[in-house]
């Protein structure tokens, strides 16, 4: 069996749950019928299993080194990425008229996810390049695009996002990097950028940095932020490299996980002039960044899901083959030991993983489908609704898997016991890699404030009400179905609790008290969303079972029903409890002054 | 401030909550009045901060290597342990008549915990040596004791516990190591032992292995297990080393964390005869092991607490000094950034850590006090009651901190953001180290079965009823107190839910269904126990506040009240929800056959 994808489940989610095959009815996606999608998924799976997975342990152990101001890293990292680029995956989500392959974002998410599951840190270089190319494509001039974009989507040059600085992580309004106009359309960039993934590497001839900086006369705060394209190597008008652009690698960060992704402190304009060009208009840098925020945050959440999936598949396989102990009713020590999957608590840990991972995957694919619908649904109202729903769910798809699929990795380790704690097995690496996802692209707390402040407060709860209404539609269909009524009842309680909590929070005039509940609310809201997607999965499975499928298929669908039941009984009530706390507007953290933490 | 101990809190727990100063009224502990205890704690703190903490990152990075069948490891590891031994800490908990220092176990736990907080993997060698010496002291012959015990409690030779084998981890009844009597009182030991912490090292001249093995005519299963002392080097009757005992280091396991502790695969009797001596009587090996199980499992849980404490103190200090962003009501980007502790969600993450860590520490010290009371309380009934309570709480003290103080480390990383994810800060190391505690000395699932099967099922719930009665006494005192009544109400709901769940589970005749709930029940029971200890802490704090202390003291006590409130509102309701699931006797994992996990 594959350790990085469950193709049966992927097909279920893509086609049976989300109807991704319908996208081919749109002219821009006409080439992407189910057969074509399957071929691309096959190619991605082969690359993931044959190229990315076999080197995952090696590139983790051989962490990139900082030697004489340069990066030394294993050849295998670049070789895998070249294979990925050669197969067209850097170009996959970009429009055909721009030289891309024009695939739906849904397909891009599903296909790239296999490579992410196999080897997140190596895949990151592609993820970042695609994000940077996305920005350039949307806001760059024709000249900027001509020099950089084709090389980026060919995987010839990689891209980065240079946002954070040592003193400004979550607080981007406080960046200090300066861009002084030279009068010829270029800008002299000076400053330090921290946490730059792929900021320097030993793979490509050039690196295209997307840099947030401030003009000399910029207003304070985030309104003063502009966006610049700043290549590692200067180029002429054709994009031919002419010489270095004086971006110095000041050091590499040594991380818990994701070690094959270099993470850099870069100094701009320190050892000579660093030139950049502005992207778009001054003062709109953060706004442009937000253009690709939905996709980027889906990507982070999806990476958390994929690490969780790898761990789930690995620990499932192990649980079926490792023997240990006997059943509770077999007291005969001479009887053979049983596979540990026969122990109920092992199956509990598998169900915990399955519900988080397959629930999280349903969410990241659903959000990817919203990206496609927002961009290309034939109906304008549907496009707007998709964009609104996507905005609402972006903090959830980013943070819920970052929490619960990290937990899934924890339980995967537990199933292997001591073995899971060693570096001879991939689980400890997945656990280390996955821990990052709560931090980058906006921390857990930032996501909570985005949800409660911007996404619910910003439209007076309209997007949330629309979602709740759709959840109630799902409940109306499921409740009369005997096989689903218990799950529907559990979800109904959770939806009621969500609505009550949201009403209390949005009605609270004290912004500090309201926002003090943001993270707890975000996590519980995520549970309700995942519970809804599980009930939808169960409804599809139940309908398929009613048609009397073959036994293998029936087992698959029964597995879906049991997972939904697990989530309904074990998880949704916890969300109800947390939402009741939010509804009460009590916040001990708010009411505990900093001085009480004195030691 | 110290990063490894909060002496004010330790004093609060030892003296104000648990009355450890009363132990000095017992003749064997007469020397350990509060002043003497304070001096020992001072010495431990100095060793922890000056010797163990400064090398923690170095010995983690320089993982022990397997070279030509031997271990190569940093000198610093042995040097720290020699300093610890020279200060008398290996001898601390042993009776004076045996050459020990005779300290109460409560003091030993508190003092050794500082070294554990600073550097768990180095401290492990002492922990294991003390556990092995404890066994030898209880069950060894005078000759065995004479040769090994004094050298072990001097830290001259270390000890190990050799239980697991590659095919037998949790299922010890299935070990295959054999002990064949030579007719001269010695036994030829053959077999492989896996996961042996400290099984080989470059520190001491000899290693005293406590080995589980089976006689040739032993019955199958755990009844056939005997215990043997098997030294790395053979000795004469004086204990002088005479030559090697043919125990081969077959390999070192490479772990996620706790890297400075060697973890070995050992082969006995492969390259020549390995001789051992039986400890006690044949077939009683597991029973002897259980003699020190309570203390050992307190030690594991306490280690989890100590890693959590280190992370809590570190992230608190960071949160007070790191500036980032502004308050929600300050929209002026020109105003200075605030320390992140001013952000409510950071304080939420600190409270989450504080409640887990200080709650866990209250539990491990309470259980240590039970060890002392079980051994030396002047009243026989009190001794029995303490032993019963200790047995009931051992699975909790082992597993609750392993889960929730690992989570605490997760949130400590989160407070530091990207910095927390790097190896320049200790938090990622603590997180890696702490992940082991759920696995060794009995997994989470094993603890659940111990609690529900042996500890509650074994005495028909008597120990649980006694604990619940004492909890209700605490509630009776707290409920009328206006400052505590909300917390008391939250705990009362949790105690009711605990009682109902326990009644349903013990009344369930279907053993598979009953035990299917064991892990969930264990975790929720742990929450109720911790909630009880928090209410007791709050009651002490409230009484102290009523006396009008100085402002610094008042802040400390108010911090306790806020932490109790946080646990009452944020955590106890989750336990109520989980206990309701147990009470329902529903178990999706039990009802999900293994085949449904087919991929």
Q: pLDDT tens digits for B198-251?
A: 999 999 999 999 999 999 999 999 999 999 999 999 999 999 999 999 999 999
pLDDT tens sequence across A334-382? 999 999 999 999 999 999 999 999 999 999 999 999 999 999 999 999 9
What band does B331 get if pLDDT is binned at 50, 70 and 90?
confident
Catalytic one of A358, A403, A441, A583:
A441
Which residue in the set B219, B256, B428 is minimally distant from A428, CB to CB?
B256
Backbone angles phi, psi at B356, to 5 degrees: -70, -45
Instruction: Judge whether B304 and B399 are in contact, CB under 8 Å.
Output: no
**CA distance to B212, B407, B496, per residue, from B576 (Å):** 41, 20, 9
CB contact under 8 A, B347 and A592: yes
CB contact under 8 A, B512 and A552: no
Strands B158-162 vs B207-214: parallel, antiparallel or unpaired = parallel
> Looking at the domain assignment, is residue A509 inside a domain?
yes
For B489-499, b where at least 16 C-beta lie within 10 A, e where not — what string? ebbbbbbebbb
| Selection from B582, B424, B397 nearest residue B500 by Cα | B582
Helices then strands, each counted (H, E), chain B: 18, 12
- Does the pLDDT at position A292 exceed 90? no
| Selection from B145, B146, B81 nearest residue B118 by Cα | B81
Q: How far is A520 from chain B (nearest CA, A)?
A: 9
A158 strand-pairing partners: A207
Identify the residue among B348, B449, B537 best suited for mutation to test binding to A, counting A beta carbons within 10 A and taking the highest. Answer: B348
How many other CB atoms are found less than 10 A from the CB of residue A531?
26
3-class DSSP assignment, residue B479: coil
A:385-424 residues touching chain B, CB 8 A cutoff = 406, 410, 413-414, 417-418, 420-424
pLDDT at residue number B366: 98
Alpha-helical regions (H) of A100-252: 105-139, 142-153
A457/A406 Cα distance (integer angstroms): 29
Q: Is A509 on the interface with B (CB under 8 A)?
A: no
Q: How far is B19 from chain A (nearest CA, A)?
A: 22
Instruction: Judge whether A300 and A279 are in contact, CB under 8 Å.
Output: no
pLDDT tens sequence across B369-420? 999 999 999 999 999 999 999 999 999 999 999 999 999 999 999 999 999 9
Does the structure's ipTM exceed the value 0.90? yes
What band does A204 get if pLDDT is binned at 50, 70 and 90?
very high
B441/B455 Cα distance (integer angstroms): 17
pLDDT tens sequence across B107-132? 999 999 999 999 999 999 999 999 99
- Does the pLDDT at position A481 exceed 90? yes
Q: Is B432 on the interface with A (CB under 8 A)?
A: yes
> Looking at the domain assignment, is residue B155 inside a domain?
no
SS (H, E, C) A65-114: EEECCEEECCHHHHHHHHHHHHCCCCCCCCCHHHCCCCCCHHHHHHHHHH
What six digits make up the tokens of A281?
A: 């208009």
Over residues B27-40, mean pLDDT: 98
Q: Give the DSSP letter of residue A453.
A: I
pLDDT at residue number B480: 97
A:213-232 residues touching chain B, CB 8 A cutoff = 219-224
B137/B483 Cα distance (integer angstroms): 49
Residues from chain A that touch B60, judged by Cβ atoms under 8 A, are none
What band does B292 get if pLDDT is binned at 50, 70 and 90?
confident
- Split into its structural domains, chain B has a count of 1
The upper half-sphere exposure of residue B60, i.e. CA atoms within 13 Å in the direction of its Cβ, equals 25
Residues from chain B that touch A255, judged by Cβ atoms under 8 A, are 421-423, 428
Radius of gyration (C-alpha) of chain B in whole angstroms: 24
Q: What is the mean pLDDT of chain A?
A: 97
pLDDT at residue number A291: 85
A:19-58 residues touching chain B, CB 8 A cutoff = none
| Selection from A542, A546, A536 nearest residue A558 by Cα | A542
Over residues B70-79, mean pLDDT: 98
Instruction: Judge whether A103 and A90 are in contact, CB under 8 Å.
Output: no
The CA angle A520-A523-A529, to the nearest 5 degrees, is: 140
Q: Searching chain A, which residue's CA lies closest to the CA of residue B599?
A: A6
pTM, two decimal places = 0.98
What band does A177 get if pLDDT is binned at 50, 70 and 90?
very high
Query: Residues of B with catalytic annotation?
Result: 441
Domain enclosing residue A511, as ranges: 443-591
3-class DSSP assignment, residue A140: coil
Which residue in the set B169, B195, B350 is minimally distant from A597, CB to CB?
B350
> Looking at the domain assignment, is residue B538 inside a domain?
yes
Q: What percent of chain B has pLDDT over 90?
A: 98
A:112-141 residues touching chain B, CB 8 A cutoff = none
Over residues B535-562, mean pLDDT: 98
Residues from chain A that touch B222, judged by Cβ atoms under 8 A, are 333
Identify the residue among A344, A410, A446, A514 best suited for mutation to test binding to B, counting B beta carbons within 10 A and taking the highest. Answer: A344
> Looking at the domain assignment, is residue A578 inside a domain?
yes
CB contact under 8 A, B348 and A589: yes
pLDDT tens sequence across A248-282? 999 999 999 999 999 999 999 999 999 999 999 99
What band does A42 get if pLDDT is binned at 50, 70 and 90?
very high
Residues from chain B that touch A516, judged by Cβ atoms under 8 A, are 344-345, 348
Residue with tokens 């929600």: B328
B:261-280 residues touching chain A, CB 8 A cutoff = none
Instruction: Judge whether B81 and B201 are in contact, CB under 8 Å.
Output: no
Q: How far is A275 from chain B (nearest CA, A)?
A: 27
CB contact under 8 A, B599 and A8: yes
3-class DSSP assignment, residue B597: helix
Q: Is A591 on the interface with B (CB under 8 A)?
A: yes
Q: How far is A271 from chain B (nearest CA, A)?
A: 26
Over residues B570-592, mean pLDDT: 97
Q: Where is A247: in which H helix or E strand?
A: strand A247-252
CB contact under 8 A, A597 and B320: yes
Q: Is B558 on the interface with A (CB under 8 A)?
A: yes
Q: Give the DSSP letter of residue B198.
A: T
Q: Where is B268: in which H helix or E strand?
A: strand B263-268
Residue with tokens 């790239």: A112
A70 strand-pairing partners: A67
**CA distance to A12, A384, B32, per residue, from A20 (Å):** 10, 19, 73
- Does the pLDDT at position A414 exceed 90? yes
- Does the pLDDT at position B291 exceed 90? no
Least reliable range by pLDDT among A170-174, A369-373, A464-468, B518-522: A170-174
Q: Where is A309: in which H helix or E strand?
A: helix A293-321
- The DSSP-derived string for A432-489 is HHHGGGGTTTS-HHHHHHIIIIIIIITTTTHHHHHHHHHHHHHHHHHTTSTTTHHHHH
Q: Is B320 on the interface with A (CB under 8 A)?
A: yes
- Does the pLDDT at position A135 exceed 90? yes
A598/A592 Cα distance (integer angstroms): 12
Residues from chain A that touch B444, judged by Cβ atoms under 8 A, are 345, 414
B429/B433 Cα distance (integer angstroms): 6
Q: Is A439 on the interface with B (CB under 8 A)?
A: yes
> Looking at the domain assignment, is residue A57 inside a domain?
no
Q: Searching chain B, which residue's CA lies closest to the CA of residue A426?
A: B256
B352/B589 Cα distance (integer angstroms): 29
Which residue in the set A220, A422, A588 is minimally distant from B566, CB to CB?
A588
Q: Is B344 on the interface with A (CB under 8 A)?
A: yes
Identify the residue among A256, A564, A584 best suited for mutation to test binding to B, counting B beta carbons within 10 A and taking the highest. Answer: A256
pLDDT at residue number B402: 98
What band does A599 get if pLDDT is binned at 50, 70 and 90?
confident
| Selection from B320, B302, B396, B435 nearest residue B357 by Cα | B302
What six digits make up the tokens of A335?
A: 């009887």
Q: Where is B299: in which H helix or E strand?
A: helix B293-321
CB contact under 8 A, B350 and A599: no
Q: What is the mean pLDDT of chain B?
A: 97
- The DSSP-derived string for B69-90 is TEEE--HHHHHHHHHHHHTTTT
CB contact under 8 A, B414 and A443: yes
pLDDT at residue number B45: 98
> Looking at the domain assignment, is residue A354 inside a domain?
no
Q: Give the DSSP letter of residue B435.
A: G
Over residues B321-347, mean pLDDT: 94
What six digits make up the tokens of B119?
A: 């550097």
Which residue in the set B6, B170, B348 is minimally distant from A599, CB to CB?
B6
Over residues A515-524, mean pLDDT: 98
Q: Is B176 on the interface with A (CB under 8 A)?
A: no
Sequence-distant (≥ 6) Cβ neighbours of residue B50 within 8 angstroms: none
Residues from chain B that touch A343, judged by Cβ atoms under 8 A, are 445
Q: How far is B476 from chain A (nearest CA, A)?
A: 24
Q: How far is B306 from chain A (nearest CA, A)?
A: 16
CB contact under 8 A, B344 and A515: yes
- Does the pLDDT at position B286 exceed 90? yes
B326/A172 Cα distance (integer angstroms): 12
Q: Is A321 on the interface with B (CB under 8 A)?
A: no
What six digits make up the tokens of B257?
A: 């964390």
**CA distance to B7, B87, B96, B299, per residue, from B91 (Å):** 23, 9, 9, 16
**CA distance to A176, A387, A392, per residue, from A382 (Å):** 41, 9, 15
Please give the interface size between A and B, counted as residue pairs whose CB atoms are below 8 Å apart.
294
Identify the residue among B439, B582, B597 best suited for mutation to test binding to A, counting A beta carbons within 10 A and taking the highest. Answer: B597
> Looking at the domain assignment, is residue B153 inside a domain?
no
Q: What percent of chain A has pLDDT over 90?
A: 98
> Looking at the domain assignment, is residue B74 inside a domain?
no
A307/A241 Cα distance (integer angstroms): 38
B198/B209 Cα distance (integer angstroms): 10
What six digits make up the tokens of A456?
A: 């619910």
How many other CB atoms are found less than 10 A from the CB of residue B580?
16
Q: Searching chain A, which residue's CA lies closest to the CA of residue B558?
A: A596
B90/B539 Cα distance (integer angstroms): 36
């Amino acid at each position: 069996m594959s350790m990085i994808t469950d193709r049966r489940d992927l097909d279920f989610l893509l086609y049976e749950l989300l109807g991704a095959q319908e996208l081919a009815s749109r002219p821009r996606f006409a080439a992407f019928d189910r057969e074509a999608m399957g071929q691309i998924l096959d190619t991605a799976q082969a690359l993931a299993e044959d190229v990315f997975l076999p080197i995952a342990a090696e590139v983790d152990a051989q962490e990139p080194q900082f030697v004489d101001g340069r990066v030394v890293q294993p050849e295998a990292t670049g070789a895998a990425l070249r294979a990925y680029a050669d197969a067209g995956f850097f170009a996959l989500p970009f429009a055909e008229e721009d030289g891309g392959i024009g695939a739906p974002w849904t397909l891009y998410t599903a296909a790239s996810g296999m490579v992410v599951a196999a080897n997140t840190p190596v895949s990151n270089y592609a993820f970042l390049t695609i994000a940077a190319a996305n920005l350039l494509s949307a806001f760059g001039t024709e000249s900027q695009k001509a020099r950089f974009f084709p090389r980026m989507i060919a995987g010839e040059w990689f891209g980065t996002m240079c946002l954070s600085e040592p003193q400004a992580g979550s607080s981007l309004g406080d960046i200090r990097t300066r861009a002084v106009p030279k009068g010829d359309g270029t800008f002299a960039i000076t400053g330090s950028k921290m946490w730059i993934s792929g900021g320097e590497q030993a793979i490509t001839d050039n690196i295209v940095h997307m840099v947030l900086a401030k003009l000399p006369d910029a207003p304070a705060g985030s309104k003063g932020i502009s966006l610049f394209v700043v290549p590692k190597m200067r180029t002429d008008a054709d994009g031919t490299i002419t010489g270095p652009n004086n971006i110095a690698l000041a050091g590499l960060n040594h991380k818990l996980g994701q070690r094959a992704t270099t993470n850099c402190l870069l100094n701009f304009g320190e050892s000579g002039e660093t030139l950049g060009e502005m992207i778009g208009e001054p003062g709109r840098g953060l706004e442009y960044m937000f253009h690709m925020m939905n996709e980027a945050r889906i990507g982070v959440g999806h990476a958390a899901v994929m690490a969780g999936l790898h761990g789930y598949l690995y620990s499932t396989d192990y649980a079926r083959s490792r023997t240990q102990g006997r059943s509770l009713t077999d007291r005969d020590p001479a009887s053979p030991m049983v596979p540990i999957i026969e122990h109920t608590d092992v199956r509990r840990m598998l169900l915990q993983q399955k519900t988080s991972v397959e629930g999280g995957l349903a969410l990241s694919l659903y959000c990817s489908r919203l990206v496609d619908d927002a961009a290309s649904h034939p109906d304008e109202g549907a496009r707007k609704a998709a964009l609104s729903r996507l905005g609402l769910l972006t903090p959830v798809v980013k943070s819920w898997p970052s929490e619960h699929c990290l937990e899934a990795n924890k339980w995967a380790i537990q199933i292997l016991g001591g073995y899971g704690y060693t570096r001879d097995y991939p689980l400890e690496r997945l656990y280390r890699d996955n821990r990052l996802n709560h931090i980058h692209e906006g921390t857990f707390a930032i996501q909570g404030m985005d949800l409660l402040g911007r996404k619910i407060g910003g439209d007076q709860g309209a997007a949330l009400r629309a979602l709740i209404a759709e959840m109630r539609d799902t409940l109306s269909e499921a409740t009369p179905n005997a096989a689903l009524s218990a799950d529907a009842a559990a979800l109904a309680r959770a939806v009621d609790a969500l609505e009550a909590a949201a009403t209390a929070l949005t009605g609270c005039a004290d912004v500090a008290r309201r926002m003090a509940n943001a993270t707890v609310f975000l996590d519980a809201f995520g549970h309700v969303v995942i519970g809804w997607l599980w009930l939808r999965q169960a409804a599809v499975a139940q309908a398929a079972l009613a048609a009397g499928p073959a036994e293998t298929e029936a087992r698959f669908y029964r597995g879906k029903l049991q997972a939904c039941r697990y989530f309904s009984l074990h998880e949704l009530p916890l969300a109800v409890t947390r939402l009741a706390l939010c509804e009460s507007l009590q916040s001990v953290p708010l009411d505990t002054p900093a001085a009480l933490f004195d030691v």
